[in-house]
Amino acid sequence: MFKRWMAFAGLILLVLTLGLAGCGGNQSPAAKVLKVGAEATFPPFEFQEENSKEYVGFDVDIMKAIGKQMGMEVQIVNTGFDGLIPALEGSQIDAIASAMTITDERAKKVNFSKPYYKSGLSIVVKSDNVTINNFKELEGKRIAVQIGTTGAEAVKKIKDAKVREYNSASEAYLELKADGADAVVNDLPVNEYYLAKGGSKDAKLVGEVLNAEEYGIAVAKKDTELAGKINKALDEIKQNGEYAKIYEQWFGKKPQ
């Protein structure tokens, strides 16, 4: 009898706990949080501050400024680059701000904002490399890239290229350093930042900039209302000077 009573009490307790948890869940929508997916090893666009581990970068600041205009709090969700669009489609995140180039292929799956940054692809090789001076000379070479990126797509079109794909750009640079690759193909501002932050000790930029690319903020196809709000906020931060301020802070020059 006592055992049965205990079981019954346990059941009541369980129901109460679940009920309370449910209430807590119902209260949270009051805090308007915008979950923004980013692959956070891509400085100067999104990365973690060494000591605090806080997410920082151009995209992070732009999203915070956009969030402020929309009255929403931005929360960065660190996600592998090739997992960002699936996470958006699966509603784990509300938006992507990850130096993501607007491409026709991606635009079939997501809703892109107006472009917010002009970029392009470039090549990094070891300082003593004299054989690779442009994209043509990447033929037959071992090229390190980040998986799922426009850089990866571009090098796959190069004749006989031995493409090595990594989860992050930093792993691609490490492979170059370790002589496991002859070149890294990645976004120009990220290559420049890598070289400026110590990479130039044994690596250099070569050749022309390939593909004029533009970054966009992505939201789910069905989220047209959010897409509109983000575009409006982007216009506002361009008008009120906030965009230029953030741009200068990260790139040391006025927006192009």
Q: Which residues contact ligand GLN (rule: CB under 6 A)?
A: 39, 42, 81, 98-101, 146, 149-150, 187
Q: How far is the CB of 149 from ligand GLN (least distance, A)?
A: 3
Q: How far is the CB of 116 from ligand GLN (least distance, A)?
A: 12
Residue closer to ligand GLN (CB basis): 214 or 236: 214
Q: How far is the CB of 247 from ligand GLN (least distance, A)?
A: 17
> Is 144 within 8 Å of 181 (Cβ atoms)?
yes
Q: How far is the CB of 186 from ligand GLN (least distance, A)?
A: 7
Residue closer to ligand GLN (CB basis): 98 or 111: 98
Q: How far is the CB of 5 from ligand GLN (least distance, A)?
A: 59
How many other β-carbons are positioned within 10 Å of the β-carbon of residue 120? 16
> Is 172 within 8 Å of 184 (Cβ atoms)?
yes
CA proximity to 172, closest of 138, 144, 200: 144
Residue closer to ligand GLN (CB basis): 35 or 68: 35
Q: How far apart are CA 188 and CA 103, in angstroms?
A: 17
Residue closer to ligand GLN (CB basis): 101 or 113: 101
> What are the backbone angles phi and psi of residue 24, rounded to the nearest 5°?
-55, -45
Region of 189 please: left (phi>0), alpha (psi -120 to 50) or beta: alpha
Residue closer to ligand GLN (CB basis): 178 or 212: 212
Peptide bond into 44 cis (omega under 30): yes
Q: What are the tokens at 162?
A: 């031995």
Q: How far is the CB of 230 from ligand GLN (least distance, A)?
A: 18
CA proximity to 81, closest of 35, 40, 122: 40
Cross-sheet strand order for the sheet of 110-112: 73-78, 33-38, 95-96, 218-220, 110-112
The single residue listed with the structure tokens 């043509």 is 136
Residue closer to ligand GLN (CB basis): 171 or 236: 171
Q: How far is the CB of 63 from ligand GLN (least distance, A)?
A: 14
Residue closer to ligand GLN (CB basis): 68 or 120: 120
Q: How far apart are CA 151 and CA 2, in angstroms?
A: 69
